[in-house]
Amino acid sequence: MDADNHVEDLVNLVFEVTGRLRNGFNATASELGLPPAQALALTRLDAPAPMRDLAEWLSCDASNVTGIVDGLEQRGLVTREPSPTDRRVKFLVLTKAGERKRAELNTLTTTKATQLFKLPAGEQKQLRELLTKVLAE
């Protein structure tokens, strides 16, 4: 058996980074008066999308999305618009306020993450390439 279990080390590192990232995100969400799940959903609403897509992005049950969108709707950030082609689906569309909130959220999130990942340009490039490879599966 390998004396140096590098894989486990890597997993621990990734989990630590993940934890910090999550805390940072939840903090900025809270600053903007958003619960974590609603904030996360907001980041995915780049363009109008069916609720189904959101469910897949968030890897959760459709009924869960209903609740999250209810929250966003109550806050006046999104509206549910009927699809012209399929009367079952509802498109989620950001309101003006929703657009603004999304922009703020993105800015703050990127700022905070950038702060965490402040590395020399060369190493940032390395990191990007490695992660791209990981996701390429």
103 contact choice in DNA, a copy of itself, none (CB below 5 to 8 Å, kind-dependent): none
Contact stretch for DNA (CB under 7 A) within 4-12, 46-54, 104-112, 122-130: 46-54
116 binds a copy of itself (CB under 8 A): yes
61 binds DNA (CB under 7 A): yes
Nearer to a copy of itself, 79 or 109 (CB): 109
131 contact choice in DNA, a copy of itself, none (CB below 5 to 8 Å, kind-dependent): a copy of itself
What is the C-alpha end-to-end distance of the chain, expressed in Å?
26
Cα→Cα distances 46→42, 87, 89, 128, Å: 8, 22, 18, 22
3-state secondary structure 70-105: HHHHHCCCEEEEECCCCCCCEEEEECHHHHHHHHHH
Enumerate binding residues for DNA (CB under 7 A). Answer: 26, 35-38, 50-52, 55, 58, 60-69, 71, 80, 86-90
